[in-house]
Amino acid sequence: MTERTSWRSAQELIEKHTGQITSARSVNEGYNSEIAVVINETTFVKGLRADHPRVWTQERERQINPHVCHVSAALLWSETSAGWDLNGFEFLDGHPATYLPGSHDLERIVAMVARWPSAPAGVEMKQAPLRWASYSDRADLFAGDCLSHTDWSPSNVLIVHGQARMLDWAWPTKGACWLDPACWIVWLIASGHTPEQAEARACELRTFATAPKEAVSAFAAAQAAMWEDIGEHAPHPGLAAAAANWAKYRSA
Ligand SMILES: Nc1ncnc2c1ncn2[C@@H]1O[C@H](COP(=O)(O)OP(=O)(O)O)[C@@H](O)[C@H]1O
Ligand SMILES: [Mg+2]
């Protein structure tokens, strides 16, 4: 988790693109950006210092944005100077999704994922087998040609005019087509679903409904190992237990 910094330390750089700042609202949701601020109710600015160890995620978001902006927010401008790496996105006026059982946001999310683009050529991405290699000896089963977001924190899903939008494409990953629904399942269980209910929801997506069972079970075990390893640094206290619960259900 990265501490937020005042947007004022990058004010001049932001104003180069937005004009004079007449209103600025720092955003509390989210975990990784030093700057996360809504400017003039029109632009969402996300920034890391150029020497931040994860500054490469800013470039990843720039590269993937043209391919995902129809299900996300469009990138309006970028600024990499004076020690900052900033991305300015169109401001989306919405509210974070609710993952509680029965939430209408879940249907909206299924509709959004059904419109996911395929993995674009020429964009640098994490490779799923490598990403989870240290948590599974069957990580080869996670390989594939699909694009996955992988960070299913509800703070990354905004409901805008009744439609779900996926933000924060910092970790685009190439792998099996069922990976996103599988990552979502862990959050659904952490939000009150039983593993059976969570899988039923994910099965509304053909990619998950047709996923090889052995591969999904190996992925559930890898998620359990990963969230246990992340421990108290996890963005939600229930994730380790939720993933363990799912893995146990799959192996029963
Ligand atoms: N385009 C946008 N419009 C409105 N709010 C946004 C936009 N992008 C992100 N946010 C809000 O800012 C928060 C942090 O942004 P995010 O991209 O998730 O960064 P972080 O890396 O800090 O998690 C999100 O959880 C969301 O509430
Ligand atoms: Mg986020």
pLDDT at 100 over 70: yes
Give the model confidence (pLDDT) of 180-199 as tens digits.
999 999 999 999 999 999 99
Going from N- to C-terminal start, the domains of the chain cover: 7-90, 95-251
Nearest C-alpha neighbor of 14 from the set 48, 39, 42, 51: 39
- Across the range 116-138, mean pLDDT stands at 96
Quick check: CB of 57 below 6 Å from ligand 1?
no
Predicted pLDDT at 31: 74
Would you state the structure tokens that stand for residue 25, as one six-digit string? 């609202």
- Point out the ligand nearest to the CA of residue 151: 2
Quick check: CB of 195 below 6 Å from ligand 1?
no
| HEC-encoded secondary structure of the chain | CCCCCCHHHHHHHHHHHHCCCCCEEECCCCCCCCEEEEECCCEEEEEEECCCCCCHHHHHHHHHHHHHHHHCCCEEEEEEECCEEEEEEECCCCEECCCCCCCHHHHHHHHHHCCCCECCCCCCCEEHHHHCHHHCCCHHHHCCCEEECCCCCHHHEEEECCEEEECCCCCCEEECCCHHHHHHHHHHHHCCCCHHHHHHHHCCCHHHHCCCHHHHHHHHHHHHHHHHHHHHHCCCCCHHHHHHHHHHHHHC
Pairing state of beta strands 84-90 and 75-81?
antiparallel
Q: What is the mean pLDDT of the chain?
A: 96
Predicted pLDDT at 29: 80
> Closest ligand 1 atom, CA of 57?
21
Beta bridge partners of 84: 49, 81
pLDDT at 168 over 70: yes
- Ligand 1 binding pocket mutation candidate from 5, 7, 18, 29 (most atoms within 8 A of CB): 29
- Across the range 209-234, mean pLDDT stands at 97
Quick check: CB of 136 below 6 Å from ligand 1?
no
**What does the alpha-carbon distance between residue 31 and residue 28 come to, in Å, rounded to a whole number?**
9
pLDDT at 67 over 70: yes
d(CA 26, ligand 1 centre) in Å: 10
pLDDT at 32 over 90: no
**What does the alpha-carbon distance between residue 187 and residue 245 come to, in Å, rounded to a whole number?**
12
pLDDT at 1 over 70: no
CATH of 95-251, one of 3.40.190.10, 3.30.360.10, 3.90.1200.10, 1.10.150.80: 3.90.1200.10
- Across the range 31-47, mean pLDDT stands at 94
Given a contact cutoff of 8 angstroms between Cβ atoms, the answer to whether 47 and 87 are in contact is yes
d(CA 251, ligand 2 centre) in Å: 31
- High-pLDDT (> 70) share of the chain, %: 99
- Across the range 151-171, mean pLDDT stands at 97
pLDDT at 73 over 80: yes
Domain 7-90: CATH class, spelled out: alpha beta
Instruction: Pick the more confident residue, 92 or 28.
Output: 92
Pairing state of beta strands 173-175 and 35-39?
unpaired
Q: Model's pTM, two decimal places?
A: 0.96
**Using 50, 70 and 90 to split pLDDT, how confident is the model at 28?**
confident
- High-pLDDT (> 90) share of the chain, %: 94
Predicted pLDDT at 2: 66
Maximum Cα–Cα distance across the chain: 60
Predicted pLDDT at 140: 98
